[in-house]
Amino acid sequence: MPADQSHLHAMQKNPTLGHKRLAVAPMMEWTDRHCRSFHRQLSKQAVLYTEMVTTGALLHGDVPRHLDYSSEQHPVVLQLGGSEPADLAKAAALASQWGYDEIDLNCGCPSERVQRGAFGACLMAEPQLVADCVRAMRAACDLPISVKHRLGLDHMDASLHQKDYQFALDFMMAVADAGAHQVTIHARNAILKGLSPKENRSKPPLHYAVAAQLRLDLQKQFPNVAVLLNGGLENNDQIAGHWHDFDGFMVGRAAYHFPAMLLGWDDLLETNGEAAGYLFSESEWHRVQIGLVHQVWRWFDECQSKGKLFYIGAFTRHILGLAHGRAGSRYWRQRLSDHHALAKVQSKAAIADFFLEASLELGDWAAFEMDTASAENS
């Protein structure tokens, strides 16, 4: 669905620097098109990332299955996995054709499966190859190019050893010199052997101060390259506490499991980090639920028009954390996860009823009203 690209201009003129960026991290099997549509209901300004898509999947697979999305998701970034400049250039051209706002290259994933494909975190050991990849993508399209990476590899310690610090800085300098407009530092090492991807997200220690110093040193030479912080960010207060040390923040699992935090992101951006709190009020719950019904209606229409199977559970699995901490949230989650009930939802009326009945598990206050005529106009 190549989209109208008028939204691109602001990002291309000033992609990040001067304007903080709050982003939901790319997460395999989580940040699919339905997840991103849900997150857009919560924040107008959050930058949304796809799951990582490999160049092989795009060049030899089903392109629409990997790249299709709905227009309300903008700004949306395609994250690519690959290490062959020519292949990444072709994938970048496809991203441009499909109307993505930006391309991000994955140099942070430590999984052995990704390593076997010769991309992800292991690419940090080959900064010139990554630089060639960035140049190839820039030559193939007009989209901004960013790189997501780790602080270092294996048992390096950039907080103690200058050579390990220089390893990270040299990598950042190489991709910046190649034309990347942004780097996102996951502020812990990637252990390439001996730790699972899950363990790699928690066991290596975080070094926010080192990441902040890397930003300062990078911007001495490349003042227009933005540096985002990723890793271990769990709430908006934590983001606000580091607000002036980085050009933006990328949140992964906390944003997925406790998505209500995104309700505070627009205010956080508009107040330059001052308004870290948010109020998930009754009226806000109603607004979000009505928005979700409309999104699922549009997806239902798409499935009908294309002869595709519709299963509302593909959407509801992403919103299970929305009622976290509220009385009745356990029963709400159970209703959203009841596969037998989910399979029976096969009309627009049934979609609206399903969301309403699920909300009532939280109490009468959560009931919302749909405009009966809106189903036809959605």
State the catalytic residues. Answer: 109
**What sign does the dihedral 355-356-360-366 (CA atoms) show?**
positive
Residues 6+ apart with CB under 8 A from 18: none
Query: How many whole angstroms separate alpha carbon 203 and alpha carbon 195?
Result: 9
Query: How many whole angstroms separate alpha carbon 171 and alpha carbon 151?
Result: 10
Query: How many whole angstroms separate alpha carbon 200 and alpha carbon 107?
Result: 14
Per the listing, tokens 């029976």 go with 344
Element (H, E) at 205: none
CB distance 313 to 330 below 8 Å: no
Query: How many whole angstroms separate alpha carbon 40 and alpha carbon 244?
Result: 25
String of DSSP letters for 189-236: -B--SSS-HHHHTTSSPP-HHHHHHHHHHHHHH-TT-EEEEESS--SH
Q: Which two tokens stand for residue 156?
A: 């390096």
Q: Which two tokens stand for residue 178?
A: 């190649």
Residues 6+ apart with CB under 8 A from 166: none
Q: Which two tokens stand for residue 169?
A: 């800085």
CB distance 247 to 20 below 8 Å: yes
Query: How many whole angstroms separate alpha carbon 251 and alpha carbon 38?
Result: 16
Query: How many whole angstroms separate alpha carbon 69 and alpha carbon 77?
Result: 11
Query: How many whole angstroms separate alpha carbon 337 and alpha carbon 329?
Result: 12
Query: How many whole angstroms separate alpha carbon 25 and alpha carbon 30?
Result: 10
String of DSSP letters for 240-254: HHTGGGSSEEEE-HH
DSSP 8-state secondary structure symbol assigned to residue 53: E
Element (H, E) at 65: helix 63-67
CB distance 239 to 268 below 8 Å: yes
